[in-house]
Amino acid sequence: MRNQSFLLFLAFSVCTTAIAQNNDSIQFKKIANDIFTNSTAYENLRFLCKQVGPRLSGSPQAEKSVKETYRMMKEMGADTVYLQECMVPHWVRGAKESAFLTNTFGQRIALNICALGNSVGTGKTGIKAEVIEVRSFKELEELGVKEVKGKIVFYNFPMNPTNVETFRSYGEAGQFRGRGPAMASKFGAIGVMVRSLASNIDDYPHTGATNYNDSFPKIPAIAVSTRHAELVSNELKKKKGLQLFFKTECAMLPDVKSYNVIGEIRGTEFPDEIITVGGHLDSWDLAEGAHDDGAGCIQSMEVIRVYKQLGIKPKRTIRVVMFMNEENGLRGGRKYAEVATTENNKKFIFALESDAGGFTPRAFGFTAEETVLNKLRNWVPLFKPYGVYEFSAGGGGADIGPLKPLGTVLCGLRPDSQRYFDHHHAANDTFEWVNKRELELGAINMVLLLYIVDQYGL
């Protein structure tokens, strides 16, 4: 191309981009206004939290949540809504759990605890043994079988308060919940108590899945509230060798049948290019699963409602997925990818997940090639008025992760993370702690991103 024609071409490109962005900015405003004014997200979340409630995989409430989100997407006018069968683990907490520490004076101090998800129970009689505190796996290894055998290991690793991103601290501390029981069993421990993964000091124990290692016996494992973790630690500073008792009657039952719930708006130009958006429908059994992840489910649906309301017809097919069993198995996410692999005529170009709470959105994180990410970044200025300032490298989500081998661009909504771990997996993850405008602002940004990806491809 000659220099002059190149300059003309460049000027033309800049102009058309500017015009496109201006039109998009008008469309963005329409979408945002409609969501702030007419969204059913908040009331649907209320329903999911209050009328369905805790919905761990395999529970009657999980079954009810399948039915109710199917209904919601139907009512929103999805072109089609269907169920995708998957077998899920069926873990139950059983009878009331309890624990106490016997202190220096022989007094029993009741502790706020809960069994870790997927844990085996102690049975009705419970277990009692000397409790031994560690703050790292290294410390555990140094103690070795000699010091650990027959005891209860207490992992007391607080979430690091100095990381601005609380998910980073969650990742660092999370290994003790995930691998701690298996590691302690390796050294002959008979039980494990983990400090709750919470960024605040309060009285709620926070559950979450643990993963046993088949090479070692499965030993019962509980989480203790952060306040009581401090208490136990202080008591142990006064005197080593204190006895801890705990009783849990949880159990893993045989797998049961469950479903992902999928709602679609069919693409008008490229119906075989699939844009996936979703959150997970299951929640822990202790709370309403408001932030984790009722919010993500309800935000994901909002694209159906607002597209139908405003008469927006996507070029590509948008699939809204309520994933089942993220919390203690990821079976729904895996099943979705497995089925996707067999749909040879379809191309899974993009997947967006919301599973970090219904808080004010701040960024999107992408697992994508640099060129794709840079292309997307051209649109960031249009997102700024809605509070999203950054499209960062890295991100996605547990449920959409299995799509990666298909070459799908993965993306996760990144809301402000300061409050999340006060509620995560605990009894205070309730509807009251979700703010309507924050929830909607997350939904707005999600729909805006889907709109751009649908309009311009990747």
Residues in contact with a second copy by CB under 8 A are: 32-33, 36-37, 161-162, 164, 166, 199-200, 360, 362, 385-387, 389-390, 416, 418-419, 422, 435-438, 441
What's the CA dihedral at 358, 359, 361, 365 to 10 degrees?
A: -70
Q: Which is closer to a second copy, CB of 36 or CB of 270? A: 36
Cα separations in angstroms, 153 against 104, 150, 168, 192, 195: 19, 10, 24, 5, 11
Q: Is 326 a catalytic residue?
A: yes
Give all strands of the β-sheet with 390-393 in edge-to-edge order. 80-92, 251-265, 316-323, 270-280, 347-353, 409-415, 361-367, 390-393
- Rounded to a whole number of angstroms, the minimum distance from the CB of residue 160 to a second copy is 9
Q: Which is closer to a second copy, CB of 234 or CB of 418? A: 418
CB contact at 8 A, 103 and 235: yes
- Rounded to a whole number of angstroms, the minimum distance from the CB of residue 19 to a second copy is 24
The values of phi and psi at residue 388, to 5°, are -100, 120
* Sign of the four-CA dihedral 394, 399, 402, 404: negative
Residue pointed to by tokens 């844009």? 275
203 preceded by a cis bond (ω within 30 of 0): no
CB contact at 8 A, 126 and 249: no
- Rounded to a whole number of angstroms, the minimum distance from the CB of residue 446 to a second copy is 15
Give all strands of the β-sheet with 98-102 in edge-to-edge order. 108-110, 98-102, 243-247, 127-134, 152-155, 191-195, 221-224, 113-115
**Other C-beta atoms within 10 Å of 163: how many?**
15
Q: Which is closer to a second copy, CB of 233 or CB of 243? A: 233
- Rounded to a whole number of angstroms, the minimum distance from the CB of residue 37 to a second copy is 6
- Rounded to a whole number of angstroms, the minimum distance from the CB of residue 354 to a second copy is 16
Q: Which of 264, 273, 326, 327 is catalytic?
A: 326
Q: Which is closer to a second copy, CB of 261 or CB of 441? A: 441
Q: Which is closer to a second copy, CB of 314 or CB of 365? A: 365
- Rounded to a whole number of angstroms, the minimum distance from the CB of residue 417 to a second copy is 9
- Rounded to a whole number of angstroms, the minimum distance from the CB of residue 261 to a second copy is 29
Note the Cα 86 to chain centre separation in Å.
Answer: 19
Beta strands in 150-200 (DSSP E): 152-155, 191-195
Note the Cα 366 to chain centre separation in Å.
Answer: 16
Nearest to 428 by CA among 51, 54, 40, 45: 54
Q: Which is closer to a second copy, CB of 218 or CB of 362? A: 362
Q: Which is closer to a second copy, CB of 91 or CB of 451? A: 451
Tokens of 261: 């719930």
Q: Supply the residues annotated as catalytic.
A: 326
